[in-house]
Amino acid sequence: MASRVIPVDPFDLVIFGGTGDLARRKILPGLYRRFCAGQMPEEARIIGAARSDYDAAGYRAFVAEAIEEFGGRDCEQIDAFLARLDYVAVDAKGTGGWSELAQRLRDDVVRAFYFSVGPGLFGDLAERLHKNGMATPECRVVVEKPFGHDLESARALNATLAAHFDEGQIYRIDHYLGKETVQNLMAVRFGNMLFEPLWNSQYVDHIQITVAETVGVGGRGGYYDKSGAMRDMVQNHLMQLLCLIAMEPPAKFDPDAVRDEKLKVIRALDPVDHHHLVRGQYEADAQNPGYREETGDLRSKTESFIALRASVSNWRWAGTPFYLRTGKRLRARSSEIAVVFKDAPHSIFGPEAGRHRNILAIRLQPNEGITLKVTIKEPGPGGMRLVDVPLDMSFAEALGPEGEEIPDAYERLIMDVIRGNQTLFMRGDEVEAAWAWTDPIIRGWEERGEVPKPYDQGSSGPEDALMLLHRDGRRWREIRE
């Protein structure tokens, strides 16, 4: 089943930070893949803007190299793609390059500015875009995470952007929302009759959300050590997953209808008791340095792992825990959401049939897909013995022609910016509400002076994380690819 590609309108996309790491790894290769897919019209133009002193040819060579390294798809049209690229050297804090940039922009196409720079520059860029007459009422700005460090800084960033742009022009990226399976969560919930009637505390025992990585902090130690897993992953990515699982059906699949419902979930989250929270830090082993060695702070108290139990206090979810866990250097790269249903109210097969539960597991990566664990009779004449088997659907197998890759989150999200669709972007009030929930949790462990629990690299995190569920008579699903 080949996917239908509808070309977007002609556009000028300016990438501030156009020579940076994100542009090199994700934005530019993602744009090339959309170009290969036929989604970019003839008149589309991409303008890199950064401090470096490139000319257009130099920038094209830089982009060609990035695509070679991170492209992942070659449609042999690299020259045609590069022909759409331009470059202007600008000084974000000064005057250099701005009028030149203004001259390159056309009036009759979609105009988008991607702020792929640290949040410290958002205000400078916004101001200069205005001063130089580029910030038209229809233009769009795209901003990356981290969107603030806490509620106060997020409010300040929102205010900075609001001074120059309407909320309808601001696209705050959480790349998890662009992942194919994450969008599928909504399709599965609201496109089928099967699940929604059971989607509540009456039928769901608990929900597990796991985002496990095998990578460590590597070269990002400087940033990461000031953030930790809570700010880097939970406040945004895991929170968004939780919202999509827990929200009420929006009346329409439109940006504000969806975001209103997500916001209600965040506001219904209870504060997290410190007994329901485990922080961890990976230790050095014979082959690899530990977290502290990697970040260069041998006394760092920042967590590279976190597990917690959250509760959504509303009519639908009261009494159903949401267990969240994420960490680096764990045993496998594996992200999934598991909806664990309750036991059947009465077993007609007697106690010897054992305990059987339906589990709907939504795998985000790798091997995107959905598995429903169902109970059936074990084949053979040995009486009524029950076994659990997975009804397994891999999206790549079910949907893609052989070998076709599921598009990267950035591809989808950038095209949504051009289409003017904000559904998969975070609204300002959502981000603030997420910080309002996270801040007291962080403050709590800081005040208690807590040190994260050490864990082995290649493990499932600290022992205490296992205990978090054991105490409730439950267990985590195994972390595996």
Nearer to ligand BG6, 12 or 144 (CB): 144
From the list 164, 175, 237, 276, the catalytic residue is 237
Smallest distance from ligand BG6 to CB 173, Å: 9
Q: Of all residues in this chain, which one has the CB nearest to ligand BG6 in the complex?
A: 232
Nearer to ligand BG6, 221 or 250 (CB): 221
Burial pattern 55-70, b for ≥16 Cβ within 10 A else e, equals eeeebbebbbebbeee
Residues 328 and 211 sit within 8 Å (Cβ to Cβ): no
Burial pattern 292-305, b for ≥16 Cβ within 10 A else e, equals bebbeeeebbbbbb
Active site residue 237: yes
Kindly state the helix (H) or strand (E) to which residue 390 belongs, with its residue range.
strand 386-394
Residues 290 and 328 sit within 8 Å (Cβ to Cβ): no
Residues 391 and 371 sit within 8 Å (Cβ to Cβ): yes
What is the C-alpha separation between 27 and 325, in angstroms, rounded? Answer: 28
Strand duo 11-16 + 110-115: pairing: parallel
Q: Which residues bind ligand BG6 (CB under 6 A)?
A: 213, 232
* Sequence-separated (6 or more) residues with CB below 8 Å from residue 404: 2, 396
CA-to-CA dists, residue 171 to 111, 179, 185, 256, 324, angstroms: 13, 16, 21, 13, 26
Nearer to ligand BG6, 39 or 304 (CB): 304
Strand duo 359-365 + 369-377: pairing: antiparallel
- Apex CA 150: angle with CA 330 and CA 467, to 5°? 35
CA-to-CA dists, residue 478 to 37, 64, 207, 213, 215, angstroms: 37, 41, 14, 14, 18
Residues 377 and 363 sit within 8 Å (Cβ to Cβ): no
What is the C-alpha separation between 231 and 40, in angstroms, rounded? Answer: 35
Helix (H, G, I), strand (E, B) or coil at 240: helix
Nearer to ligand BG6, 213 or 411 (CB): 213
Tokens of residue 304, six digits = 């590279």
CA-to-CA dists, residue 138 to 42, 141, 217, 320, 418, angstroms: 21, 10, 39, 43, 11
- Which one-letter amino acid corresponds to residue 175? H
Cis link prior to 454 (omega < 30° from 0)? no
Smallest distance from ligand BG6 to CB 334, Å: 10
Active site positions, annotated: 237
